[in-house]
Structure 1
Amino acid sequence: MKAVIAPVKNVLTAQDAFDNLCTRGIGVPGLGLYHGPSGFGKTTATTYLFNQVNGIYVRAMATDSASTLMNRIVGELGSSGMWRINKMVDFTIEQMSMYERPLFIDEADYLMSDVRMLETVRDLYDNTEVPVILIGMDQIARRISTRKQFFNRISEWVEFRPADLDDVMVMADSLLDNDIKVEPELLDELRKASSGEARRIVIGLNQIERLAKMNELDYVTAEHWGAQPFHGVRRPSLVG
């Protein structure tokens, strides 16, 4: 399969929201929130964005404190870190401001249980006004609404939704090798079996591609695929 990002609706919406943050008017806050269930493509879309703009990307962890999170951010900025937290915050503010490097924090749900971590991220934004994007699960929007000082700084909210058939068709066209095409009926079966989860759709497309290559097919139909599952144990070939 091709190593590209398929331009599905979630990716395009995330891109549009980020562009809005970068071009926002005076007085419009610059925090964004991408949220939704696991497997809907949040991390993939974020990776695509931060690579385009030389952003800073970190993943929060369950064991993080404000100090360990800042140490990881400083490391992404090319420094060894291990300073006092106020020095790490000052260094990050300087780098974000000087080079206009937006900050992306994945697994941001972990910030919600530590006020100091959340307030440290707010300090980074308040002192730079460079966009900061939080990426979290579907409950983060509700949880963050109780943190009014933070909540009021978010101007772009993107809820990642299940892929529809158009999205699956875009993914097939973008990702499959050798110009392999897939019957829409089979793609819709994959969508249903995957519950619209981008990660599982990619796994299913990979299996369809394998079937096509093993059987020298340039167009795969539901009849070719048969009743085998898209995930789990599969037969290697169905075409005689």
Structure 2
Amino acid sequence: MNEPLNKALPGGVVPIASLDLVSVALEALMTRHANVAGMGVLYGPPGRGKSMAAGAMVAQYRAYYVQVRRVWSVKVVLQKVLLEMGVAAPNKATTADLLDLITAQLAKSGRPLILDEADYLIRSDSLIETVRDIYEGSKKPVLLVGTDELRVGLRRWKQMHSRVYQWVEAPAVSLADAVKLATVYAAGVQVAPDLLAEIVARVDGSVRYTCVNLARIRDEALVSGEDEMTLAKWGGRGIYTDESEGVV
């Protein structure tokens, strides 16, 4: 029997555009027709809020979430997924045994699996084909999260590519997003529209840098005793971007 899902967002999570898109995509995977493939890919440049959005899905959809590491082998990936699931494997379990345990748990729970930093999975046939085996064995949603290289790289595996039902490009941060983020990352400080617009114009779409700049604004406002920060008041303090020196 599938475990109940919690559609409410966890406390403190800001419903910016990237999160909304991922939520819609995962909902589509969860409610798709039985004959429709059930994999999804969330892709985009670093800093677009992909991991933040994927992490929110852990609470919203009770998703299993694993952040893949560069050095992991097939067996280690399977062991980490089982660890996230809270499923114990026998000491002498083979790779095939681990795979069977994962697919059985996904099928039983009905919960989706999210694999972040999935670019590392396309470095070998065995890794990406193992992910396909997980999906085929459970028929439950699997969401891969990575850069645009993931989207392009998956074309090398036609059988895998054809099982992707939802392709979601993480959007650039917008002014509307920045307004919402300011309520959390610059809490207690009124950030003026002109300063928010300047941040959005400078961070090249990055949600991460937007959050960093908002946190800096809050810190500077507290130090200077300001309850409002405008572009003029911010003056020459600079805006953090992906430039090599950080502040420009």
Sequence identity (%): 28
Matched-pair contact (CA < 8 Å) for 1:172–1:182: yes
Is 1:167 the equivalent of 2:177? yes
**1:19 aligned to 2:27?**
yes
Deviations along 1:68-106, whole A, 9 cap, x unmatched?
A: 110111111224545211111111111111111211101
Deviations 1:113-139 (A, max 9, x none): 211111111111112111000001112
Structure 2 CA distance for aligned equivalents of residues 21 and 191 of structure 1: 32
- Alpha carbons 2:185, 2:218 under 8 Å: kept: no
Structure 1: distance between partners of 2:86 and 2:33: 31
> In 2, Cα distance between the equivalents of 1:66 and 1:73?
11
CA distance in 2, matches of 1:69, 1:27: 28
Give the distance between the partners of 1:115 and 1:182, measured in 2 at CA. Answer: 49
Query: 5+ residue gaps in structure 2?
Result: 1-10
Q: How does 1:117-196 map to 2 (within 5 A)?
A: 117-178=127-188, 180-196=189-205
Runs of 4+ residues deviating >4 angstroms: none
- When structure 1 is superposed on structure 2, of 71-80 and 97-106 the one drifting more is 71-80
The answer to whether the Cα contact below 8 Å between 1:66 and 1:117 also exists between their aligned partners in 2 is yes
**Does residue 223 of structure 1 match 2:232?**
yes
Give the total of aligned pairs: 231
Which residue, 209, 212, 217 being the options, matches 2:221? 212
Which of 58, 83, 95 is the aligned partner of 2:66? Answer: 58
Structure 1 residue identity aligned to 2:51: T
CA contact (8 A) 2:63 2:114 kept: yes
For residue 161 of structure 1, report the CA deviation from its aligned partner. 2.2
Report the 3-state secondary structure (helix = DSSP H, G, I; strand = E; otherwise coil) of the residue aligned with 1:110. helix
Distance 1:90 1:226 in 2: 59
**Residue of structure 1 in register with 2:47 after alignment:** 39
Question: What residue is the counterpart of 1:100 in the other structure?
Answer: 110
2:119 is matched with 109
Q: Distance in 1 between matches of 2:203 and 2:180?
A: 16
- The superposition leaves residues 167-210 of structure 1 with CA deviations (integer Å, 9 ceiling, x where unpaired) of 212211343322x2211110111112222211111110001111
Moved more, 74-83 or 42-51: 74-83
Root mean square deviation of aligned Cα: 1.7
SS at match of 1:126: helix
Amino acid at match of 2:167: W
